[in-house]
């Protein structure tokens, strides 16, 4: 794993990239430069996949590891049974232990794309269910609860916002979440000498609570650092597509759809996202910023952003597949693309469903396509074939009497017809 240039440069590098929203102690920068520390970030196992809203803390952990520090990825198997109320409009549905365990396994697989779990400063993944679920209630209330002021907890914005909602309010279960996350920090300090917690800006109160508990129970000097809320240049929320969340799991969001999400980012946002979500150097990002200003039509920054993030999340092979799929819209080779990707590529083009028994029935391709409305008449279809303007699955149709059979299909049920340079029609056989 490549280094970021040494501990002394790490904090400055993170600041330049926009990662540093707030730190609990100004001495953190000196501490990072002086020694290797163990740090952690928590991930909520509400699904078996993380989404791109988790990318910033993941990249944060990766930067720390590249600079020689030891990252811990904490999956909230225990706290996930309760749910973090921070800036949530209402209480979330309870998860079972089985659901949480399954989700944690999926998250581990995704983190392995960013973190090395081997070597001198190997990353570690822990599940707070291992210690939280074993805590005796009375002991916890006596030894931990007494260090928390209800007045202070009520003053936090995340709690006040929920208390103001007369319809939903906040349950005692959720109200106790901060105590459990604070206990996590104290536990990781006492068992692994973890001295830094990182997380989103919405976690500030929970991080401070953990530092305070570690100081009271262990006499520990610990730190906290938060990342900013990632937004678009227009102030709207980052991380959603037309279909909802953009997931890191290829079964939830295909590599093609993932790649397209980044390709479609606005010029005003791309520079910040290159800093957040890639490991490209300042020089490379600076050059891409220049190209965006001077030659925006090339969309060089968006292409490089999409390449880098897709490669990080899905690997080189999936990136190449996504690029092939993108090229297919401009007359590229369609072979080798699966049905799901084809449907995503051509989701907004005209489509026709035809009975599967037409295949091999002796009908000509020309007749069937005319009936499907691909061209207005068989005469227009013949003219198009003679002029070399009809393509089936990226291959030019040369014969007017070509028969419709299984060889005309790109997948067991799909054929893609192109007329001219960019007019597509999707034909499904059912």
- pLDDT tens for the 430 residues of the chain, in order: 444 545 558 999 999 999 999 999 999 999 999 999 999 999 988 889 999 999 999 999 999 999 999 999 999 888 877 765 554 544 456 677 888 888 988 999 999 999 999 999 999 999 999 999 999 999 988 998 888 878 777 777 767 776 777 666 777 777 788 899 999 999 999 999 999 999 999 899 899 999 999 999 999 999 999 999 998 888 888 876 666 889 999 999 999 999 999 999 999 999 999 999 999 999 999 999 999 999 999 999 999 999 999 999 999 999 998 998 888 777 677 887 888 888 888 887 888 898 888 888 888 988 888 888 888 888 999 999 999 999 898 889 999 898 888 888 888 889 899 888 778 898 888 8
Find the distance separating the first CA and the last CA of the chain, reported in whole Å.
50
What is the CATH architecture assignment of 7-227? Answer: 3-Layer(aba) Sandwich (3.40)
- Domain locations along the chain: 7-227, 240-328, 345-429
pLDDT at 71: 98
pLDDT at 243: 66
pLDDT at 248: 96
CA distance 154 to 168: 16
* Beta-bridge partner residues of 128: none
pLDDT at 8: 56
pTM above 0.85, yes or no: no
pLDDT at 345: 84
Q: What are the start-end ranges of the H helices in 315-351?
A: 316-328, 339-345
Would you state the structure tokens that stand for residue 149, as one six-digit string? 């002021």
pLDDT at 149: 78
Q: Where are the beta strands (DSSP E) in 8-161?
A: 22-23, 38-43, 70-75, 124-127
pLDDT at 244: 81
pLDDT at 252: 93
Closest by Cα among 319, 321, 325 to 304? 319
CA distance 202 to 313: 25
Angle between helices 255-263 and 316-328 (to 10 degrees): 70
pLDDT at 87: 44
Closest by Cα among 332, 316, 342 to 257? 342
Q: Classify residue 96 by its DSSP letter.
A: P
pLDDT at 378: 87
For domain 240-328, the question of CATH label 3.40.50.970 is answered with no
Q: What is the DSSP string of 270-321?
A: HHHHHHHH----HHHHHHHHHHHHH-GGG-HHHHHHHHHHHHHHH-HHHHHH
Fold of the 345-429 domain: 3.10.290
Domains 7-227 and 345-429 share a fold: no
CB 161 within 8 A of CB 90: no
């Amino acid at each position: 794993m490549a280094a970021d240039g040494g501990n002394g440069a790490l904090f400055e590098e993170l600041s330049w990239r926009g990662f540093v929203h707030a730190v609990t102690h100004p001495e953190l920068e000196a501490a990072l430069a002086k020694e290797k520390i163990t740090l952690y970030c928590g991930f909520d196992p509400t699904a078996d996949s993380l989404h791109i809203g988790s990318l910033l803390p993941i990249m944060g952990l990766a930067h720390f590891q590249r600079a020689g520090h030891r990252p811990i990825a904490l999956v909230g198997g225990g706290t996930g049974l309760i749910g973090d109320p921070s800036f949530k409009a209402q209480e979330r549905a309870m998860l079972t232990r089985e659901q949480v365990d399954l989700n944690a396994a999926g998250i581990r697989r995704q983190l392995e794309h960013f973190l090395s779990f081997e070597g001198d400063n190997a990353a570690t993944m822990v599940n707070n269910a291992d210690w939280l679920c074993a805590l005796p209630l009375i002991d916890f209330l006596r030894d931990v609860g007494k260090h928390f002021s209800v007045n202070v907890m009520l003053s936090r914005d995340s709690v006040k916002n929920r208390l103001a909602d007369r319809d939903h309010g906040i349950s005692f279960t959720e109200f106790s979440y901060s105590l459990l996350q604070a206990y996590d920090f104290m536990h990781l300090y006492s068992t692994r000498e973890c001295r830094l917690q990182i997380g989103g800006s919405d976690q500030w109160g929970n991080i401070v609570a953990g530092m305070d508990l570690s100081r009271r129970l262990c006499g520990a000097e610990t730190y906290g650092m938060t990342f900013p809320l990632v937004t678009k240049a227009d102030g709207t929320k980052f991380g959603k597509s037309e279909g909802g969340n953009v997931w890191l799991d290829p079964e939830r969001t295909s590599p093609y759809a993932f790649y397209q999400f980044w390709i479609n980012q606005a010029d005003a946002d791309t520079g910040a996202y290159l800093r957040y979500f890639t490991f490209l150097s300042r020089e490379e990002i600076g050059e891409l910023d220049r190209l965006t200003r001077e030659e925006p039509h090339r969309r060089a920054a968006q292409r490089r952003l999409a390449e880098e993030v897709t490669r990080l999340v899905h690997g080189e092979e999936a990136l190449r597949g996504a690029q092939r799929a993108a090229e297919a819209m401009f007359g590229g080779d369609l072979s080798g693309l699966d049905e799901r990707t084809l449907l995503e590529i051509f989701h907004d083009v005209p489509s026709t469903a035809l009975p599967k028994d037409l295949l091999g029935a002796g009908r000509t391709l020309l007749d069937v396509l005319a009936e499907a409305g691909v061209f207005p008449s068989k005469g227009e279809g013949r003219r198009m074939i003679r002029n070399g303007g009809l393509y089936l699955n990226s291959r030019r149709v040369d014969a007017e009497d070509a028969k419709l059979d299984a060889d005309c299909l790109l997948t067991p049920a799909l054929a893609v017809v192109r007329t001219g340079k960019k007019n597509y029609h999707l034909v499904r056989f059912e």
